[in-house]
């Protein structure tokens, strides 16, 4: 077995690991694959540095963690190659719409804290992300650990939110973002594709996920996505809304994230059942191009309101 270079991502973080120089050949070794999966389960986030920057490697690395999930939505652009199912392509070009203003600064590619597929009953295991075009500044991807967040929120709020289910609906337009809006925030322009995504999901029922869940390890995870949250099940009233807003604002304030500054030879996986992620945004004069695979799976705790079926519309943002 080839040895694997595993390091903590940072000495002051309780999550995240860095693995250097993995090759496609090394990934054929069962022992290496098992070791990588153990690191993933334990640390929640792995940055793979100095890997070959190809779609073939992206898929080979993703397959270490499980089968890929394709994106059935016709509005999601993908890498057009039959051997690479589910590699989606996200390209924000200089001057494109999709700009927000935060604290007086205009930002493209900005995303609030969220977990992927919150609007689905099924919650994908992970996403594997790489950068094909990087802005000279900004455009960092942020990661926050739900285990840490569970311990970071005030005990009073934690007690009130634990046991509650959060309602989610696909909505990629910030004007209607209900919870956890940053202070001094405004939407400047909306991507035309955002309307397509919202329309495609308009007939889907809302999804429900627990605000707190317990991992196999016994650790509790605060798993609330401020983005796309609609309310608390059976508490869609002023009191429930105030509680959810307080929790989302605590997430914004108390989060101790890792922000990844991209290299073209990086690939990165995060545990979608544990971590929240976000994007710091960049000057709209820059371009940014990312590709993501989605690892199948489910933690089994999500469902659609009223036992309904979803429209299988998946988001296309990272």
Minimum Å gap between C-beta 292 and Fe ion is 8
Minimum Å gap between C-beta 277 and Fe ion is 6
Minimum Å gap between C-beta 307 and Fe ion is 26
Q: Using the minimum distance from each CB to Fe ion, give the nearer residue, 85 or 142.
A: 142
Q: Using the minimum distance from each CB to Fe ion, give the nearer residue, 9 or 88.
A: 88
Minimum Å gap between C-beta 268 and Fe ion is 12
DSSP structural state of residue 175: G
Q: Using the minimum distance from each CB to Fe ion, give the nearer residue, 52 or 187.
A: 187
Minimum Å gap between C-beta 227 and Fe ion is 9
Any contact of residue 171 with Fe ion (CB under 5 A)? no
Q: Using the minimum distance from each CB to Fe ion, give the nearer residue, 153 or 318.
A: 318
Minimum Å gap between C-beta 114 and Fe ion is 6
Count of residues touching Fe ion (by CB under 5 A): 2
Query: Cα(207)–Cα(306) distance, rounded to whole angstroms?
Result: 9
Query: Among all residues, whose Cβ is closest to Fe ion?
Result: 116
**Residue in the block written with tokens 């000279």:** 136
Count of alpha carbons within 13 angstroms of residue 1, beta-carbon side: 11
Q: Using the minimum distance from each CB to Fe ion, give the nearer residue, 248 or 318.
A: 318
CA-based nearest residue to 179, from 107, 120, 228: 228
Residues 94-153 that bind Fe ion (CB under 5 A): 116
Element holding 258 (H helix, E strand): strand 258-260
Minimum Å gap between C-beta 318 and Fe ion is 5
Q: Using the minimum distance from each CB to Fe ion, give the nearer residue, 111 or 243.
A: 111
SS3 annotation, 121-171: CCCCCEEEEEEEECCCCCCCEEEEEHHHHHHHCCHHHHHHHCCCEEEECCC
Distance (Å) of CA 197 to CA 21, 73, 142, 260, 294: 37, 8, 23, 27, 18
Q: Using the minimum distance from each CB to Fe ion, give the nearer residue, 151 or 193.
A: 193
Phi-psi region of 21 (alpha: psi -120 to 50; beta: other; left: phi over 0): left
Residues 11-40 that bind Fe ion (CB under 5 A): none
Count of alpha carbons within 13 angstroms of residue 113, beta-carbon side: 30
Residues comprising the chain, all counted: 318
Q: With contact defined as beta carbons under 8 Å apart, do 302 and 116 qualify? A: no
Q: Which residues bind Fe ion (CB under 5 A)?
A: 116, 318
């Amino acid at each position: 077995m080839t040895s694997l270079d595993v390091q903590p991502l940072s000495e002051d973080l309780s999550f995240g690991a860095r693995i250097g120089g993995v090759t496609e050949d090394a990934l054929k070794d069962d022992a290496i694959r098992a070791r990588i999966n153990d690191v993933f389960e334990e640390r929640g986030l792995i940055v793979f540095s100095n890997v070959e920057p190809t779609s073939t490697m992206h898929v080979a690395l993703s397959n270490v963690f499980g089968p890929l999930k394709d994106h059935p939505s016709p509005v999601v652009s993908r890498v057009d190659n039959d051997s690479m199912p589910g590699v989606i392509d996200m390209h924000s070009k200089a001057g494109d719409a999709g700009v927000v203003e935060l604290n007086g600064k205009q930002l493209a590619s900005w995303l609030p804290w969220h977990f992927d597929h919150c609007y689905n009953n099924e919650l994908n295991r992970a996403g594997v992300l790489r950068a094909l075009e990087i802005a000279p500044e900004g455009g960092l991807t942020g990661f926050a650990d739900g285990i840490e967040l569970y311990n970071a929120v005030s005990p009073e709020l934690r007690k009130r939110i634990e046991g509650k289910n959060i309602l989610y609906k696909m909505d990629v337009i910030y004007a209607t973002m209900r919870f956890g809006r940053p202070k001094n925030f405004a939407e400047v322009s909306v991507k035309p594709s955002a309307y397509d995504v919202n329309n495609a999901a308009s007939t889907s029922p809302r999804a429900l996920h627990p605000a707190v869940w317990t991992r196999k390890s016994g650790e509790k995870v605060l798993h609330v996505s401020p983005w796309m949250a609609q309310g608390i099940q059976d508490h869609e009233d002023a009191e429930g809304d105030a509680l959810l807003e307080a929790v989302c604002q605590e997430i914004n304030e108390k989060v101790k994230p890792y922000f990844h500054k991209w290299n073209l030879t990086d690939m990165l996986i995060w545990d979608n059942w544990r971590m929240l992620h976000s994007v710091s945004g960049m000057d709209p004069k820059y371009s940014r191009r990312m590709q993501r695979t989605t690892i199948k799976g489910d933690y089994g705790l999500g469902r659609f309101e009223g036992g309904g079926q979803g429209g299988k519309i998946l988001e296309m943002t990272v």
